[in-house]
Structure formats: structure tokens, C-alpha cells
Amino acid sequence: MPYRTILNMARGAINTVSEFYEDVTETVQRITPEPVNQALDVITEKFEKGFAKTPIGVAERGAAATGELIAEKTGNQALGQAVGFGLGLAVPGPEISRAAKPVIPKGVKVPQPKPEPTDFLMPPGMTPALAGGGGGLKLNFKPVDAPLAPQVSKLTITDPEVTSLPGVKQGMAELPVNVKARQMLDKSLARLDKRRADLDDMLASGEVKRGSSKFIRLDKKIREERYGEMSSFYNQLDQDPPAYGKAAYKNVDPTDITKKAEQHHLAAKAQTAPFIEVMLEVGDPDDLVALHEYSRMLGVVMGNSKKNMLDAPGPIHRAAAARTAKEKSGNIHSAFSVAGMEPNNAYVKRLLKDATTADDVIRVFKQYADEYLIPQQDIAKKIVQNYLDEYAITLTKPQRDTFNQLASKLNKGS
């Protein structure tokens, strides 16, 4: 049963017990992968059965038993004793005296704070402390100056089409290139979260009005930037650096040398962002890396990187820049719209609404790439190339030489 469900079942009647469970869960998650899974499974089972009856009574009677099961399943007596002891103390009010007696096994001392723990009782860098309040006691953890043990990512995707890819393996998210890419992602999202919070403050203060042109402009800019940043994963910086909106990667439009060619996302950022968002919710760091590797294997590069950029003259990219009737109906986005080939962000989110595992995300992504992402980029490339070819035949030989030189510098994506 998911942790959030456990907390919902516990809400109100056994608040301090659920708080302790949260502390233990967060602590156990830092231990080696197998004991983590075993311990959480045991705790979940006990809580699920207990809350179905009488939460406080079961927590009181089952504290010692839960601790013993934890010790048995993980082979870690210290962890089992700490869980059993804490669950007993967590029972609110006058129940404490009765719960504590069966919780502490005969001959076992109450765990004492240690500045630098060397066993699996708690994560490195944390020491236990008993805290009161709210009618009961609970076990908290206080940070101390000790180095954190490295956390090992876990690949939960089982689809062989993904797991058989070169480099896709357990722990790959901890490789330096992937750590750096994830840091870049987190930093970008934090920056955009700050901008969103600032806009909310402007609304609250009355500086901007919801629905005003200023609000719509700022809201759209934040939203679209987030789509692009969420979709990006720069673990191949030497081959595929950030390019969208970067002056160094904006090239002259060979059909109008007074302007720069526009940058078209071959894999639309509004359509790819939901896959990353949901993978971050249901998967592990390894799964996020694997999704990007799988996408690249399909020939689809997501986000704002160079390999996802198709340089296109403005008139053939979007209707707002079109000058002729042919350009207005035949540009990339108009053609996609007429053909029903450009779903919006909300549509993709609906496709993923029932995804609860990383394999679910991969399954939906595979189908979506086949039906939309791959055809979209093939069509966009053809539209741009046909436009350039038709323009070139109207030029003289000297003009065509200059045109060809400029056209060769255009980014054509992956």
C-alpha cells in the first residue's frame, strides 16, 4: 500500500504514530536497497492491517511485534529495536506507559545518541532524540556533522527494450555526467519556481491582475520555459549542448539574410514535459536517465538541446510570420493543426493520468512517439526542406552559392 494511503488512513486518530512512521520511513530509505524494501514492506503491512481495525490499539499491541519483524526481515536487530521502541512511545497520552512496557525487549537498552553512528540504526549524519508535544512522544532525528553515505539509485523499469540499451543499468544516475545533468535540471526548475512565486506575489499585492495582458505574458513565458527545461537532460554536453534561445546557435535565415532563422522544437516541449514530470513522480533517478536514453534510441531528443532544434525561416515555421496564403496554410504549426498532429500539454497529461510505475510511463511514451513525435519531426523537416528548395530555384548562380553556404549552417536536428 502506498505511503500516502497509509497516512490518509491514519489521519487524525493516530497523528503521532504516523509522524513516527514518516520519520522511520525517511530514515530507512537511506539504508542499502534490499533492507529498505524489506523494512518498508513490513511496516506497511503492519500499518495496513492495524488501521483497518483500531489504529491506536494495534499500534500499542503491535509495536514490539513490528520491531521483531523488522529485525527478522532485515537482519538488523538495532533497526528493529528502534522501530518497536519508537512505535510504542508514539501512542498518544496515557497509553504511553502501557505501550512502552512490551516495546522494550528484556535486556535491551534504549538507543542512545551517537555523534557518528556506524550501524544501520540511522543514516550517517543523524542522531536520535526523543521529543514531546501534542500529547505524546516521538522519535526525531537531528543532523550532526558527519559525511552522508552515497545513495544508490534503483532502476525500476523492466521493459527489455529499455533495459537492454547500452549503458542502462542500476546506479547509472550516479555517474558524474548524469549527476551534473540532474543538477542542471533541478537548478532550472528552482529558478522557474521562484519566478512563479514572484508572479503569485504580484497577484496578491495587486501589482498585476489575473487576465491582464501583463499577467498572460508573464504566465505564458514561465509555463513555456518550464516545458523546455523540464524536458531537457544535458548528459551529453559535448555533443548536444543547450541551444534554444542561445545566440551562438541562432543562424541566419538564407531566405532573408536580415533575419535569424527560427528554432523549432522537433519534439514539442509542451508534449514531452508531462512524461518527465510523471517519471519524476513514479520512478527513480535511474528511470529518468533511462527514459531519455530510450527516447534518443527512437530518434527523439527532448528539450532545448541542439539535437532537438530545427532551424526554419519564420514564414514556414508559424502563421504569425507568414506572408503569403501558401505560407499561412503550409507552415509547420498550421499543417500540424489541420492534420490533428499537435496535441496540447493537457492532452498528454490525460494519457498519463493512470501511470503509477516507470514501466507505465515508458509504455505510453513508446506509443506517443510512434503516433506523434516521430511523424512530427519527419514532416517538419520535409516542410522546411521543400521551402528552401523552392526558394533556391528562383536564385541566380551567384545568389545560389551564398544561399547554399548559409543553408548548410542551419541546424537540422538529430
End-to-end Cα spacing for the chain:
42
- The string of pLDDT tens digits covering residues 105-141 is 444 444 555 444 444 444 444 444 444 444 444 444 4
Q: State the residue range of the domain holding 371.
A: 239-407
What letter does residue 303 receive in the DSSP assignment?
S
Find out whether 231 and 304 touch, Cβ atoms under 8 Å.
Answer: yes
Lowest mean pLDDT among 34-43, 175-184, 214-223, 345-354: 34-43
pLDDT, position 26: 42
Q: What is the pLDDT of residues 400-411, one digit of tens each?
A: 999 999 999 999
310 domain residue, yes or no:
yes
Take residue 31 and report the three cell numbers written for it. Answer: 539504508
Q: Which helix (H) or strand (E) holds 237?
A: none
pTM score: 0.64
The runs of H, that is alpha helices, within 52-175 are 55-74, 77-90, 95-103, 160-163
Claim to verify: residue 128 and residue 251 sit in the same structural domain: no
Residue 317, pLDDT > 90, answer yes
When divided into structural domains, the chain yields a total of 2
Asked which of 143, 167, 196 is the last residue of a domain, the reply is 143
pLDDT above 90: residue 36: no
Stretch 267-275: mean pLDDT, rounded?
98
In angstroms, the CA 311 to CA 90 distance is 62
State percent of the chain over pLDDT 90. 63
The answer on 397 and 273 residing in a single domain is yes
Do the Cβ atoms of 203 and 211 come closer than 8 Å? no
Answer whether residue 203 is part of any domain: no
Q: What is the rounded CA–CA span in Å between residue 1 and residue 49?
A: 11
Instruction: List, for residues 345-370, the tens digit of each pLDDT value.
Output: 999 999 999 999 999 999 999 999 99
User: Quick check: is 248 in a domain?
Assistant: yes
Is residue 153 very low, low, confident or very high in pLDDT (cuts 50, 70, 90)? low
Q: Would 33 be classed as within a structural domain?
A: yes
Does 118 share its domain with 252?
no
pLDDT band at 250; cut points 50, 70, 90 = very high
Could you tell me if residue 47 is inside a domain?
Answer: yes
* Alpha helices, DSSP H, located in 91-210: 95-103, 160-163, 176-205
More confident residue, 165 or 144: 165
CA–CA separation, 134 vs 303, rounded Å? 48
Q: What mean pLDDT comes out for the span 388-393? A: 96
**Nearest of 183, 156, 182 to residue 169 by alpha carbon:** 156
State the pLDDT at residue 414: 81
Whether the pLDDT of residue 245 is over 70: the answer is: yes
Q: Does residue 183 belong to any structural domain of this protein? A: no
Mean per-residue pLDDT for 308-329? Answer: 96
Examine the fold and report which residue of 143, 160, 192 is the final residue of a domain before the chain moves on: 143
Based on the fold, state whether residues 259 and 371 are members of the same structural domain.
yes
Say what percent of the chain tops pLDDT 70.
Answer: 63
413 part of a folded domain: no
- What pLDDT, on a 0 to 100 scale, did the predictor assign at position 361? 98
Going 228 to 232 to 234 to 240, the CA torsion angle's sign is: negative
Determine, yes or no, domain membership for 354: yes
pLDDT recorded at residue 65: 55
Range 282-301 average pLDDT: 97
Strands 256-260 and 309-312: unpaired
Q: Are residues 257 and 382 in the same domain?
A: yes
Q: How much is the pLDDT for 77?
A: 60
pLDDT recorded at residue 154: 86
Q: What is the average per-residue pLDDT within 147-168?
A: 82
Least confident of 134-143, 198-207, 208-217, 294-303: 134-143
Q: What's the pLDDT tens digit per position in 40-73?
A: 444 444 444 444 443 434 344 455 555 665 556 5
Spatial neighbors of 2 by CB under 8 A, at least 6 apart, are none
Residue 75: its pLDDT value, please?
60
- At 64 the pLDDT is 55
Res. 161: pLDDT tops 90: yes
* Structure confidence by residue, pLDDT tens digits, 5-28: 333 443 443 343 344 444 444 444
Domain termination site, one of 86, 113, 143: 143
Q: 136-145, 160-169, 190-199, 247-256: which range is least confident on average?
A: 136-145
**Do 108 and 246 share a domain, yes or no?**
no
